[in-house]
Structure 1
Amino acid sequence: MKALISLLLSCSVMLTAHASQSAEEQEGVPQVAYVTLAPALVGNFGEGARLKFFKADLSLRVTGKDNEDKVKHHEPLIRNQLVMLFSQQTEAAMAAPEARETLRVEALKQVQAVLTGEEGQPLVEDLLFNNLIIQ
């Protein structure tokens, strides 16, 4: 009976040590975060007599809490740059799926350029359209 209790205690100690080691390993790995630009970006675009509008829900992928905080700090400048980019687009650039991908890549480059200018590094790894509505 003492041998069984001793065996159970040693197994319990080993499992606890493994669980704490696993938690420590996870803390050392930077976590991916998505910074959602809220509220959605809204504006007009295109040329001609009739105004066209866009509404874009975006998320920015960053790694690490520090980078997430820096991106949130510069959110007003990022939002301004993106609104200016979207307002310069044509209807064709906003409507076609291939053109939307081109716009997404250009928007990512713009965000990275802003953050490189402010922080010395791009910080944002990817830009995702959660929703893009044109009217």
Structure 2
Amino acid sequence: MKTWIALLLALCLPFAALANEEEKKEGEEGAAPKVAYYNLVPALVGNFGPGPKLKFFKADIALRVTGTEAEEAVEYHEPLIRNQLVMLFSQQTEESVGSQEAKEALRQEALKQVQAALNQETGKPIVEDLLFNNLIIQ
């Protein structure tokens, strides 16, 4: 009788292991995608505005993406993203970056341009948000 029980247990163990492995896979598939912040390093630095006196900007920017594929796509297209942002910043005037509301409008425009560039390249906007970690205008 003991041998029958031992034999029955030995036959059931592989099935228990398979069931446990399937539960793990379902848990991984149902898990929320990982949100990541991709920092554009080094910071964007340049000049802006018309006139004889040069004005400078320095922007530390982070891009929020979801999933490792999106993070890899942003890393791959970083030169394009940096170009879009430098061109946008260089077109600004003192009035367009002088107040908090103006800086927020600039952030929203930067996000739109990054999403448009990535949408053109990949077919998806990929970046969910653009954040200024630091924005210095002088």
- Counting matched residue pairs gives 117
Counterpart of 1:56?
59
- The yes-or-no answer on 1:94 pairing with 2:105 is no
Q: Which of 38, 41, 46 in structure 2 is aligned with 1:43?
A: 46
2-structure distance, mates of 1:37, 1:26: 30
Kindly report which structure 2 residues correspond to 1:1-135, keeping only aligned pairs within 5 A, or say none. 24-25=27-28, 28-135=31-138
Gaps of 5+ in 2: 1-19
Query: Which deviations, in whole Å up to 9, do the C-alpha atoms of 1:34-87 show, x marking residues without a partner?
Result: 000000000000111100000000000000000000001000000001000000
Secondary structure of the 2:128 match is: strand
2-structure distance, mates of 1:39, 1:27: 36
Give the letter for the 1:60 counterpart.
L
Gaps of 5+ in 1: 1-16
Give the letter for the 1:80 counterpart.
N
Percent identity for Structure 1 against Structure 2: 66
Q: Which has the larger radius of gyration?
A: 2
Q: CA deviation at 1:88?
A: 0.1
2-structure distance, mates of 1:26, 1:98: 41
Q: Normalising by structure 1, what TM-score?
A: 0.81
Q: CA deviation at 1:26?
A: 8.0
Query: Which deviations, in whole Å up to 9, do the C-alpha atoms of 1:65-117 show, x marking residues without a partner?
Result: 00000001000000001000000000111121000000000000000001001
Q: Normalising by structure 2, what TM-score?
A: 0.79
